[in-house]
Chains A and B, each alone.
Chain A
Amino acid sequence: METEKIKETIHMISDENLDVRTITMGISLLDCIDSDSDVACERIYQKITTKAKNLVEVGHQIEIEYGIPIINKRISVTPISIVAAASNDKDYFKYAQTLDKAAKALGVNFIGGFSALVQKGYQTGDLKLIRSLPRVLAETDLVCASVNVGSTRSGINMDAVAEMGKVIKQASELSFMSNTKLVVFCNAVEDNPFMAGAFHGVGERDTVINVGVSGPGVVKHALEEVKGSPMDVVAETIKQTAFKVTRMGQLVGTLASERLGVPFGIVDLSLAPTPAVGDSVAQILEEIGLEQVGTHGTTAALALLNDAVKKGGIMACSHVGGLSGAFIPVSEDAGMIDGVNSGSLNIEKLEAMTAVCSVGLDMIAIPGKTPAETISAMIADEAAIGMINNKTTAVRVLPIQGKSVGDTVEFGGLLGHAPVMAVNSASSADMIHRGGLIPAPIHSFKN
């Protein structure tokens, strides 16, 4: 019995918030398609509630037997714009209601996949889905949505970018919580287990189990042991820690896959913070040696962190996928919130940080009066970073009606609270009104 190792594991779980953030079951809905939306929705409900019948129970069993918290049990499905395209419905609210009902029947935390992939243009159904979004987000509880507006291979669909600015604005007028469930992507991945951006790609197997681990607290604690050491020691320490964290994700994923009789897909290595004390990505950056997140050096520290997490994790499991990097949501990270409140962290710096980490402008509250075109322009900037750098980027901004810079908005639970951040007030409207397509970059022509 190796008592030191046992102690270390227990310490990580009890004191450093080590957990498995999510077990997400991906379910294909391609075999549910029907021109009659009632028939399709009935098939969707039956398929989801049959395939994922034991998901919550199995997650709970693993938690008890292995003493490792599994925070979320989730489902991702084939993008609904594809599934619903054969129907003649005017909007796809019925499909969202079906997903919501299935998720509630199963007791899962979220269901993702009310999604459309429009990086190069709209197909039948895509615009209908996008225009259904404000109502879907306001009137369902557990449905998460995403729209992919760009990719390195195809460029950026600026018509969709313009549309999404309007959608986000409208959604915020219906409910301030709506946009917490909507992500606008560039280079969206098909096996992401994290919400709100999870969907089940068409190239995936019929059903699959994906796991998202977490552990910012563990990384921060490990770095406390190497204060003052050179950056290569910092990188090595993060790698070793990420290795251990990922091994646990691999174990949980394998167990869940065996017990559910569903193939194991990937482990997503993302460091996902929560508002809990000591579970912050920002505090890791500060531990590396920054007085406050957002100051000069933040991008470099984040680049090192993101890369070292991947290097440590890749060796630790059979298949790595999803987004795999550090998340930098503002409202979900106590250190980020402190950075904003002190004036050290602003949207411009966050945008720079997204060039070197996974995802993008995430859970950022902005003034309710921000024009739709400005929101579109923020999406365009993020998509451009993703497109040029061959990486996933995303925008989850939250216009808060009736609030302005300096106010705070409370989302509750894992979503935390957010200070409303300043947005550049100069107009981007004329560019957004042009629409069209930003062509794919030169380095996309690899054939």
Chain B
Amino acid sequence: MKAILTTIGKDQVGIIAGVSHFLAEKNINISDVSQTIMNGYFTMMMMVEIQDNKTDFAILAQQLDELGKQLGVEIKIRREEIYDAMHQL
């Protein structure tokens, strides 16, 4: 499945490295990435591909939440369909 991973928080060293490293460890591929600094806040969006049969989404979301706490940012993951549903006919 495709999912969108969003990382928002105060900018500091090692956020991209931390998130990418975690995803690589989990064998999750990043297919697109966009990153900006808005009002001093680091904002990153990643489209990732998750192998449905090998990953428990609930556990993954929880691990990302914990990773976010370590990095001092908020990391959320949502399946892509919710964004499509809301904005596309």
Contacts and interface: CB of A to CB of B under 8 A. Distances in A.
A2 B6 CA distance: 13
B85 A6 contact: no
B54 interface: no
A65 B79 contact: yes
B85 A247 contact: yes
B87 A5 contact: yes
Contacts of A68: 78, 82
B66 to A, nearest CB: 15
Interface string B41-74: 0010101000000000110010000000000000
A9 B86 contact: yes
Given A65-B57, A68-B82, A2 B87 contact: yes
Given A10-B76, A64-B61, A68-B82, A1 B32 contact: yes
B22 interface: no
A2 B83 contact: yes
A81 interface: no
Interface string B15-32: 000000000000000001
A66 B86 contact: no
B84 to A, nearest CB: 9
Contact of B87 (A10, A244, A250): A244
A66 B79 contact: yes
A244 B82 contact: no
A67 interface: yes
A244 B4 CA distance: 18
> Chain B: interface residue count, which band?
20 to 34
Nearest to A4: B87
Contacts of B85: 247-248, 250-251
Contact of A1 (B47, B76, B78, B82): B47
Contacts of A251: 81-82, 85-86
A254 to B, nearest CB: 9
Contacts of B58: 61, 64
A2 B88 CA distance: 11
Contacts of A447: none
Given A1-B45, A1-B47, A5-B87, A67 B34 contact: no
Nearest to A251: B85
A3 interface: yes
B30 to A, nearest CB: 11
Contact of B45 (A3, A64, A65, A250): A3
Contacts of A64: 57-58, 61
Interface in A48-65: 61, 64-65
Contacts of B45: 1, 3, 6
B19 to A, nearest CB: 16
A10 B6 contact: yes
A67 B76 contact: yes
Contacts of B78: 65-68
Nearest to B38: A7
Contacts of B61: 64, 67
Nearest to A243: B86
A191 B86 CA distance: 24
Contacts of B82: 9, 66-68, 248, 251
Given A66-B78, A67-B77, 7 more contacts: A1-B32, A3-B34, A9-B87, A66-B81, A68-B78, A247-B85, A251-B81
Interface of A: 1-3, 5-10, 61, 64-68, 244, 247-248, 250-251
16 contacts: A1-B4, A2-B83, A3-B45, A6-B45, A6-B83, A9-B83, A9-B87, A10-B76, A61-B57, A64-B57, A64-B61, A247-B86, A248-B85, A250-B85, A251-B81, A251-B86
